[in-house]
Structure 1
Amino acid sequence: MFAQAFMRRCELLTMLLEMARQGCARAPTAIDKALIASNLEVSAWTLNKWLKEAVEAGYVKAVLSKRGKRYLLTEKAVAELSTLVTELNHAIGGISRLTLTGRIFRGLGEGGFYVSLAEYREWFRRYLGFEPYPGTLNLRLDQDSAVKRKLLESYDSFRIPPASRGDRSYCSAQVFKAVVNDAVEAGVVIPEKTVYGPDVLEVVAGVCLRTALGLKDGDLVKVEVLLEKPVRVKPPTEGRVEAEL
């Protein structure tokens, strides 16, 4: 009984991973069933059976459109994949870094606004070790990296607590130390709330990354995220904030 349940979970996870690679973790996507079946070494009938079971179990949402059926991984599915990453991390002794790639695009300026807030700047300085340039480098991630970006949310990380000014409040954010293009120390910021989708990565650094690395919109950028255990940071003495790990 245990062996059967274990195999069914393995089948589910491998299928979800293949679907995530095709973009189903980001948006409803028309999947290449033939490719998935080939990669999993199963028949088309078996794959359709697994898909039906995954939809019924709440792991996958099937969306009908004029162009046919599209599939979206639910939060339940992403949680399963996150659990898998955690289990693998423990099993192999810990993954030290995760590499993400994406292309630069010009954002809406919200990142620069938050980075300019005194409370956030002080947290960045204390944890990352540099005074952040007043702006973020925005990357549109490829499909594999978008999945990794989503899985980052399950990792132990430093967390900037929410702050408030008068009647306005600002959300918390996860922060990871990182290196951009093997050259510049940086930080990856995952806000609790954002106007961007899960395929966008926001990066801060002590310099303007566009200028320092000669980057422009559309350029491909590599970001190595360091998965080290966050150290406890003494909170700033000013502002209504407290340390969080």
Structure 2
Amino acid sequence: MEKQGYITRELGIRKQRLNLTTKGKTVLQTEYLLYKRLFEHKDRIYLTGTVFSGMGEGKYYTSLDRYVEQFKEKLGFAPVPGTLNIEINPLELSKLHLLRSYRGILIKSFSTKYRSFGAVTCYPAEMKDIKCAVIQPRRTHYSNVIEIIAPVNLRKTLNLKDGDIVEVIIFVGERNEKSRNI
């Protein structure tokens, strides 16, 4: 911990004195808040990550009528076309795995004459008091990323740019039967 800059060590004749550095205090406070949230709020998961630009596919999929109808019916809003992509902090990936153990709200797959479109699991969420939803497409390119839809453009409304650190509060319900033994 000394090499990582979390503590300083003062050696005496028969004892040593350890002090937390500012960096160490920050890490400890972050861990404390993480554990506090884990144990205090069983109905929500807090995720922190970095905003980044995706491949632009979210705009296409969130504009499809068959998805939009289900979003309106099941989430209570029609999303602005596109998704806000957030790469989850590596220290919080276990919470992303925990999120996937909850049922969420199923947006059903469908097919057109030309192709099929996969199912999506949604979780009601909030960013800075703005109602939104985390979506987890069954077919995805990422394992450490969440995509967020909202009735407003979150990038513009929250003045976000690539590289910004954000927190998302995700509201969860019952866990999947398969996940109960985890």
TM-score, normalised via structure 1 length: 0.53
Q: Deviations over 1:14-52 (max 9, x none)?
A: xxxxxxxxxxxxxxxxxxxxxxxxxxxxxxxxxxxxxxx
The residue number in structure 2 matching 1:191 is 137
Pick the aligned partner of 1:117 from 39, 59, 64.
Answer: 64
Aligned length: 139
Pick the aligned partner of 1:169 from 116, 122, 129.
Answer: 116
* Contact 2:49/2:165, CA 8 A, preserved across alignment: yes
Q: Offset at 1:143? A: 1.5
* Contact 2:83/2:149, CA 8 A, preserved across alignment: yes
The residue number in structure 1 matching 2:74 is 127
1:156 partnered with 2:89: no
The residue number in structure 2 matching 1:77 is none
Report which of the two has the higher share of helix. 1
Q: Distance in 2 between matches of 1:124 and 1:149?
A: 22
Instruction: Could you tell me which runs of 5 or more consecutive residues in structure 2 were left unpaired when the two chains were aligned.
Output: 1-37, 175-182
Q: Deviations over 1:53-84 (max 9, x none)?
A: xxxxxxxxxxxxxxxxxxxxxxxxxxxxxxxx
Q: Distance in 2 between matches of 1:147 and 1:166?
A: 39
Q: Distance in 2 between matches of 1:120 and 1:149?
A: 24
Q: Deviations over 1:182-220 (max 9, x none)?
A: 321100001111122x11110000010011011111101
The residue number in structure 1 matching 2:83 is 136
* Contact 1:176/1:189, CA 8 A, preserved across alignment: yes
How large is the Cα RMSD of the aligned pairs? 2.2
Q: Offset at 1:148? A: 1.4
The residue number in structure 1 matching 2:165 is 220
Q: Distance in 1 between matches of 2:126 and 2:61?
A: 21
1:211 partnered with 2:143: no
Q: Deviations over 1:130-171 (max 9, x none)?
A: 110000000011013322112222112111111111130011
Q: Deviations over 1:100-155 (max 9, x none)?
A: 01111000011111101101111111122111000000001101332211222211
* Contact 2:49/2:87, CA 8 A, preserved across alignment: yes
* Contact 1:112/1:136, CA 8 A, preserved across alignment: yes
- Look up the equivalent residue of 1:173 and give its one-letter code: V
Q: Distance in 1 between matches of 2:102 and 2:59?
A: 25
* Contact 2:102/2:173, CA 8 A, preserved across alignment: no
- Look up the equivalent residue of 1:192 and give its one-letter code: R
Q: Distance in 1 between matches of 2:93 and 2:149?
A: 18
Q: Offset at 1:228? A: 3.1
TM-score, normalised via structure 2 length: 0.71
Instruction: Could you tell me which runs of 5 or more consecutive residues in structure 1 were left unpaired when the two chains were aligned.
Output: 1-88, 230-245
* Contact 1:146/1:200, CA 8 A, preserved across alignment: no
- Look up the equivalent residue of 1:114 and give its one-letter code: Y
